Every structure is written in C-alpha cells, then in structure tokens.
Amino acid sequence: MNLFIDTSNNNLILILEKDNNVIDSFVEKNQTRLSDIVLIEINKLLKKHDLTLRNIEKFYITKGPGSYTGVRLAITIVKTLKTVNNSFRVYAISSLAYQAGSSDCVSLLDAKGQKSYVGVYQNKRNIIVDQLLPDEYICDFCKNYKDFALIKDYYEIDFVKNYLDLKEKFELIEDIDNLEPVYIKNFI
C-alpha cells in the first residue's frame, strides 16, 4: 500500500494507492491550517479502509517549493515515521513537477511578495532549472514557451492523474536524513 501526501501549498492532497490502483483520495483546498488537520485526515483515510500506518509500504511526497510551513509538513511526517519504522520507503518530487504532471507546460506557484516559483516541463522532464521570478517578468518569460500550457497554483489539475502519471519520476530517498525541503530564495 502506498500513500501520497502533498502539503507544499495551501492544499492537503492524500492518495491511497496500491499497484497503480487508487483506493481512495482526499483533497482539501485552500486550507490555512494544514498542520492541524493532516494527521487527522491521514488517520481517517486509513481507518476508512481498515488500515493503519503499518500497512503503508511506500510514502510519496512533494518537497517544494511552496509555503514554508507546508513544504516542511509532509517531510517532517515521513522523517518521523521513518525514524520509528525504518521498513518503508520514501519517494519525493518537486511540487512544480507534480503540478505539471505529464503536460508540456510552464508550472507556476505563487511565492508571495509578487514573486512566483517557475518550472518548465516537457515529456515529464524539467527542461530548465526551477527558479524564482518577480511576477513582472512572468509574461515575458512565458513568451519563450508559447506552445506550452500555463498551469498555476494547482488550478484545475487532476491530482490523482498527476500522481499516477509521475509515480516513476519520484526520487527514492535512500537516506532520510538527506531529505530536505526545496526552497528557492534567490532569482536566477
């Protein structure tokens, strides 16, 4: 059994899956208190299917960029669980890549302060380094990718499809102590 957790922005996304078959999912959008509900909702999702955390073999998470607290939340959960039970595996992916899914697109996430996190994806691959740009440059930046879709702030994406489409692209975290949130602070 696998559990996907995304808390990198103001959404809580949970997907319970085994062998690429989705058992259930939970999405709570625009949640300002993720830290208050994430463990409650994980436990509710598992209990609904007569499961516990011990039944989870693999955790898939996003590692940012995104909100400071949100990015740290899923990482802290899996690090803590891995400390208690070393038998499961952890996989991680950029939240910009997750948002892009299998689309050829410019993936944008609001970084606050009139800035955006930007990634460009083609064929499920990042074709430029994820970066932070002032919002005033976004239009000019996107002109370089006019044949690409623009996907912003998880608006109208299929969370389950993106997870399944990218599952093989998640990176196995061999050493949980090396799992760090992705913070993009400076302009490139």
CATH code where residue 77 lies: 3.30.420.40
Is it the case that residue 187 has pLDDT exceeding 70? no
CA–CA separation, 176 vs 154, rounded Å? Answer: 27
CA–CA separation, 137 vs 104, rounded Å? Answer: 20
Total domains, the chain: 1
What range does the domain containing 127 cover? 2-178
Using alpha carbons, select from 81, 87, 67, 80 the residue that is nearest to residue 182.
67
Share of the chain above pLDDT 70, in %: 98
In angstroms, what CA-CA distances link 136 with 129, 132, 133, 141, 155?
A: 19, 12, 8, 10, 20
Decide if 103 is inside a domain: yes
Handedness of CA 134, 68, 24, 102 (dihedral sign): positive
Mean pLDDT over the full length of the chain: 95
Decide if 184 is inside a domain: no
Decide if 30 is inside a domain: yes
| Cis peptide bond prior to 65, omega within 30° of 0 | yes
CA–CA separation, 139 vs 83, rounded Å? Answer: 45
Structure tokens at 33: 């208190």
Decide if 101 is inside a domain: yes
Which residue is listed with tokens 């948002």? Answer: 99
Decide if 185 is inside a domain: no
Decide if 186 is inside a domain: no
Is it the case that residue 140 has pLDDT exceeding 60? yes
Which residue is listed with tokens 């998640």? Answer: 170
The pLDDT of 115-119, averaged and rounded, is: 97
Using alpha carbons, select from 69, 93, 84 the residue that is nearest to residue 4.
93
pLDDT, residue 3, reads 99
Decide if 123 is inside a domain: yes
pLDDT, residue 104, reads 98
Backbone angles phi, psi at 41, to 5 degrees: -70, -35
Decide if 187 is inside a domain: no
Q: Which of 8-12, 148-152, 167-171 has the lowest mean pLDDT?
A: 8-12
Contacts of 127 (CB under 8 A, 6+ apart): 120, 121
